[in-house]
A and B are shown apart, each in its own frame.
Chain A
Amino acid sequence: MARESPAAASSSRDSESELYSGLYRRMRLIRRFEDDVQSLFQRGLVHGTTHLYSGQEAGAVGVCSALGDEDRVAATYRGHGAALALGVEPEALMAELLGRATGVCEGRSGSMNVIDLEHRLMGCFSIVGGSIAAATGMALALKRKGGVAVAFFGDGTANQGYFPECLNFARVFDLPVVYVCENNRYGEFTPFEQVTGGKILDRPRTLGIQAETIDGNDIWSVREAAAAAVGRARAGEGPQFIESLTYRFVGHSRSDPGAYRAPGELDEWRKRDPLVVTRKGLGDRYGVTAEALDEIDESVEKEMAAVVDAASSAPFPEPEQAREFKGG
């Protein structure tokens, strides 16, 4: 095989640097978005409940960076990260959480049920396992017209009925779907080992589905694994499974202070914060300077300040008689 010329290698390094710097920005945007959601929630402006993605950003950003225009994603009630990773407008998403008329669904869906088909988000599903069902069905449609469906879900979903039923269904019909299990170690408040027999990874493998476990806080690992899995699904090799090991820095939902965490566990994972890992990787691999990364952070600060301003000052929707059915 011919060796890459030094010039080509340098150009490829530049484009990788640019690509991963962009992914870093997206991850930073998600972190900042979630911080804002948290503070807006505490001020009573985000209502009901909400589930933050802080700490898991490399998962959604890495996987979605490997998708094409024809692909579709089903996410969960912890779905702000997937939505932003797919390109849903931060202002429209924030407005939705604030219940405003300018929201993605004009205030009808709220935090847990956002749908934005234009940005390839078939939905955030607020029933554990719902994303698996939705993506499996989407894959049935995409098998015909091209494209791959992706389901994000947590470790807790491995114990829902949808998990074995849909994985088997996808296997026997060779559906183009990638199942991404974001194992953040806790199903709500309960450590996953305590309620999960055997290894999660053995379950898809038993069904004949290619599966691997990856470091979900390392954007390079996630993107590479996702690109390979999506490529195989696209090539007609059937369903693929990725177990992405990660950790959420916040409680399950707004009512959860995280008292179940082992002492020191959060601090250990903070050292492996995907933003820290990515900053270091960008420096080590491509020589991106701390100053350049700080500039990215500052541009995100500015963008999010404008997003929060615009979304908070948007009007609430007018109550009206909605149509029950399409066509009448």
Chain B
Amino acid sequence: MAEIDFRDAIRDALDEELARDDTVIFFGEDVAAPGGVFATTGGLMDKHGPERVFDTPISELAIAGAAFGSAVGGLRPVIEIMFADFLPLVMDSLVNQAAKYWYLSNEQKSVPLVVRTAAGAGGRFGAVHSQMPVSWFQGVPGLKIVCPSTPGDAKALLKAAIRDDNPVLFVEHKRLYAIKGEAGGDVATIGEARVLREGSDVAIVSAMKGVHESLAAAEQLSAEGVEAEVIDLRTLRPLDTQTILKSVQKTNRLVVVEEGPRTGGWAGEVLAQVLEGALEDIDDAWRLATPDHPIPYSPPLEDHFLPGAEAIAQSILGRDGRHH
């Protein structure tokens, strides 16, 4: 299988789904002729035509409304919200309309739309171009939240998101666009986590860039004689609780690594589900998330703000010291 960049995996998934299904359309700010500010969507307009791939005004309210309404009308729109920090502007159409339509209409119609968005810190973009929006949407019934960590998943999960009959928020971590990996033509199943590294001493649960930090931390820990199991959640709503519980039954220790504010984040939800489902198996369970203040700009401040491999490894070693 060929190795490709994460950003090309996104483009390939869109390309293949646009070719496969005539009802798929794709629009957003600077996505068509310019090919996207993160260079993820070049060439799609030329190949699939300006009726199906087009640039919009800088009007997030209208973009999201157009996605919702056209999905009710029978299309499968994919929109790009350039930075996840702009998602508050699409919240009404997404939260009040799209996510509720299937239920409120008494299952007359679901709303198959995908909101792609670039999220995450580490790029020195500052407080309002670096946020991770997941916790804003975590408590919205009817909305799926997909968050790949590899090019293979980026492609297979985006294809799945486009084929899904429900609204999907598809989160792309900016710092992953340049990573390489294998990507084929398969379609993933939304809602399934994956164990990327097996280990019996502690389970590290994460998503997106945090998965890579967790894998690096596991290597550091291995040198210290601690074998960590690393779980990539891949989907944050619905959560694959079974895969997490299975790991906890083996490791009895669990750390959840979330890039996102500690208070009200998804790591807290994972811990709650583990508490409900496997209390008797738990020796220790905690989370590493970002501090409850805005994301700073200055490089040393931003680097300190994020839970990197070193911090994850040190936290696990520190907790182990307390419990052995």
Contacts and interface: CB of A to CB of B under 8 A. Distances in A.
B110 interface: yes
Interface string B149-161: 0000000000000
A133 B101 CA distance: 14
5 contacts: A108-B103, A117-B72, A117-B108, A169-B57, A325-B166
A326 B165 contact: yes
A269 B214 CA distance: 70
A23 B100 CA distance: 33
A324 B139 CA distance: 12
Interface string B50-91: 010010110101111111111111110100000000000000
Contact of A113 (B68, B73, B93, B104): B104
A29 interface: no
Interface residues of B, number: 45
B67 A137 contact: yes
Nearest to B93: A133
Interface of A: 72, 74, 104-106, 108-109, 113, 115-118, 122-123, 125-127, 130, 132-142, 144-145, 149, 161-162, 165-166, 168-169, 172-173, 322-328
B263 interface: no
Contacts of B277: none
A314 B57 CA distance: 49
Contacts of A115: 101, 104-106, 108-109
Contacts of B144: 325
A169 B73 CA distance: 17
B96 interface: yes
Interface string B34-57: 000000000000000001001011
Given A74-B69, A117-B105, A130 B62 contact: no
Contact of B106 (A105, A127, A130, A161): A105
A115 B57 CA distance: 29
A133 B68 contact: yes
Given A74-B69, A134-B69, A137-B68, A105 B62 contact: no
B69 A138 contact: yes
Contacts of B93: 130, 133
Contact of A133 (B57, B61, B75, B191): B61
B61 A325 contact: no
Given A145-B74, A169-B57, A327-B166, A137 B65 contact: yes
Nearest to B52: A144
Given A115-B104, A165-B62, A130 B92 contact: yes
B53 to A, nearest CB: 13
Given A130-B97, A138-B70, A162 B104 contact: no
Given A125-B97, A126-B96, A169-B66, 20 more contacts: A113-B104, A115-B101, A116-B108, A117-B108, A118-B108, A123-B72, A123-B105, A127-B97, A136-B62, A136-B69, A137-B65, A137-B67, A165-B65, A166-B61, A166-B66, A168-B62, A325-B110, A325-B144, A326-B110, A326-B165
Contacts of A135: 69
A109 B166 contact: no
A142 to B, nearest CB: 6
